[in-house]
Structure 1
Amino acid sequence: MLLLLLLASSFLLLPWAGAGRIIGGWEAKPHSRPYMAYLSIQSESGRHRSKCGGFLIRPDAVLSAAHCVAGKKNVNITVTLGAHNINKNEPTQQVFHVGHWVIHPKYSGYTSENDIMLLKLKPRAKLTKSVSYIPFARYKERVEPGTTCHVAGWGWTSRSRDVTSVLMEADLKVQRENICEDSFKKYYLQQSMICAGDENGKKAAFRGDSGGPLVCNGKAHGIVSYGPQNSIFPKVFTRVSYFERWIRAELRKFALQDQPDSPSSV
């Protein structure tokens, strides 16, 4: 499963719409990451389907990446919690057909700025040993370069689309800002992005780990966002702490929608 790639000198942003699987990682202990969400995104016609990751931050809310859905019309989103093998009907799984989601209003598909999306679950998830939420980083809370963090996802295990159906995980180090600035130039924004990866080029989040969390010191600090086309290092993650105020404002709106007098609660 380990994949050793030469780092390419050419640069190209590559948002990963589609589910991904960790390259150079290992199978996670079943249900050891109970916050993980599996997103299936399908056109109404059923002809087009993509997959992404996400993570539960409240019984009624999942965070993911905006690029998983942005630009797609008339899509149906299904969120599965409590899964290890997404091809099996496990008794731990809870499945939700999502009727409401919010993409950051300033998301840019061209620059990958503000690559964050919040999905509302209705009914709320039932918290169990296999389904629980993860705390996320607060405003201005940062993680230092050299910190070992963790990513997880389903899907590709190599650039040649090798796949399996179980949750995979890997550890990645937070990198110095200049690593991503050198790779992505003006597209990398220190305030709202985190630079991370395996400098040896053996491990990475890849296509479709999109939307999954970068977990550092027990908190979700990043969201899998984009990387270079011709290598697996470095990777860019949406910095969750930068968006804390936006997230909490949207969560308050979710709560208002659940009030009996709200038209959207019908």
Structure 2
Amino acid sequence: MLLLLLISSAFLLPWAGAGRIIGGQEAEAHSRPYMAFLKIKASNKTSRCGGFLIRPDAVLSAAHCVDKEGIVNITVILGAHNIRVQEQSQQRIPAARWVIHPKYSPVGCINDIVLLKLKTKAKINEFVQLISIPMRNERVAAGTKCRVAGWGRTSWTGRGSDVMMEVQLKVQNDEPCKQLFRNYKRLSMMCVGDQNSEKSTYKGDSGGPLVCNQKAYGIVSRGYRGKLFPEVFTRVSYFEPWIDEQLRKFALQELPGSPSSE
């Protein structure tokens, strides 16, 4: 089974579209109430990504998830464990708009971050909750064990996983990623993974949070063709000022009389 997983990892990366957690396990139902499932409908196909709720009206994800032509709409599903059924815990909210970082580049997934504004505010309850993000340039030390969750395929040719999966990964120093990724930027990226190459995020887990000490320190961004280790995550703390600026703009747009208010 592991051999099959290793072979399947040799296909296209970074991870946008259907995918899976490799070497992980099913998450306890509703144990990660900040998780968001993004259903992205474009003119020619529908894809999926992860995300996480940082304010009742705002979700963070990876820019490469929404950097597509002809996007018709994005539906954000909160409070989900099994995304194939209409669980009573689920809240399905359209994204009113989304802001990709102005310096995002698909080459190397540089500045791979997007903020989505929900059309209506999520109802915070037992199944839907916010997660904190770190302050500017706040870091976790190499060796810290963190967790990532997501939905995706259970085999290379199978359909997407119905239930949320999760995996534990370790924060690495920058060297493994600097050696492998030509465009690795240590200030805005994190190097993460399992050195035994038995556990990994994969296509479709993009946009999900790397949670360390109950904060979302990273965003699933990219991997390397044919390798499960290491992986690159967007460093959330580096973008905290930009995130804060966009959240303030979202709030201003809701004021009566604002040009963008609905």
Hey, what does 1:5 align to over in structure 2? 6
Please list, as runs of the form range in 1=range in 2, the aligned pairs for 1:202-221 lying within 5 A after superposition.
202-221=198-217
Cα drift, residue 263 of structure 1: 2.8
Please list, as runs of the form range in 1=range in 2, the aligned pairs for 1:221-232 lying within 5 A after superposition.
221-232=217-228
Instruction: List alignment gaps of at least 5 residues for structure 1.
Output: none
Which residue identity lines up with residue 261 of structure 2 in the other structure? S
134, 140, 143: which one aligns with 1:146:
143
List, as ranges, runs of 4+ consecutive aligned residues in structure 1 with deviation greater than 3 Å. 1-6, 157-163
Report the secondary structure of 2:17's partner residue.
Answer: coil
Distance in 1 (CA, whole Å) between partners of 2:104 and 2:238 is 14
- Give per-residue Cα distances to partners, 1:22-79, cap 9 Å, x unaligned: 1110000000000000001112x4x311100000001010000000011322331000
Distance in 2 (CA, whole Å) between partners of 1:13 and 1:42 is 21
Report the secondary structure of 1:232's partner residue.
Answer: strand
Distance in 1 (CA, whole Å) between partners of 2:159 and 2:188 is 32
Instruction: State the superposition RMSD in angstroms.
Output: 1.9
Distance in 1 (CA, whole Å) between partners of 2:228 and 2:36 is 23
Report the secondary structure of 1:238's partner residue.
Answer: strand
Instruction: List alignment gaps of at least 5 residues for structure 2.
Output: none
Report the secondary structure of 1:264's partner residue.
Answer: coil
Please list, as runs of the form range in 1=range in 2, the aligned pairs for 1:84-123 lying within 5 A after superposition.
84-123=81-120
1:21 counterpart = 2:58: no
Distance in 1 (CA, whole Å) between partners of 2:157 and 2:186 is 31
Cα drift, residue 159 of structure 1: 4.7
Which residue identity lines up with residue 33 of structure 1 in the other structure? R
Q: Percent identity?
A: 60
Hey, what does 1:240 align to over in structure 2? 236
Per the normalisation by structure 1, the TM-score is 0.93
123, 132, 135: which one aligns with 1:135:
132
Distance in 1 (CA, whole Å) between partners of 2:127 and 2:139 is 28
Per the normalisation by structure 2, the TM-score is 0.94
Distance in 1 (CA, whole Å) between partners of 2:244 and 2:155 is 36
Report the secondary structure of 2:6's partner residue.
Answer: coil
1:156 counterpart = 2:153: yes
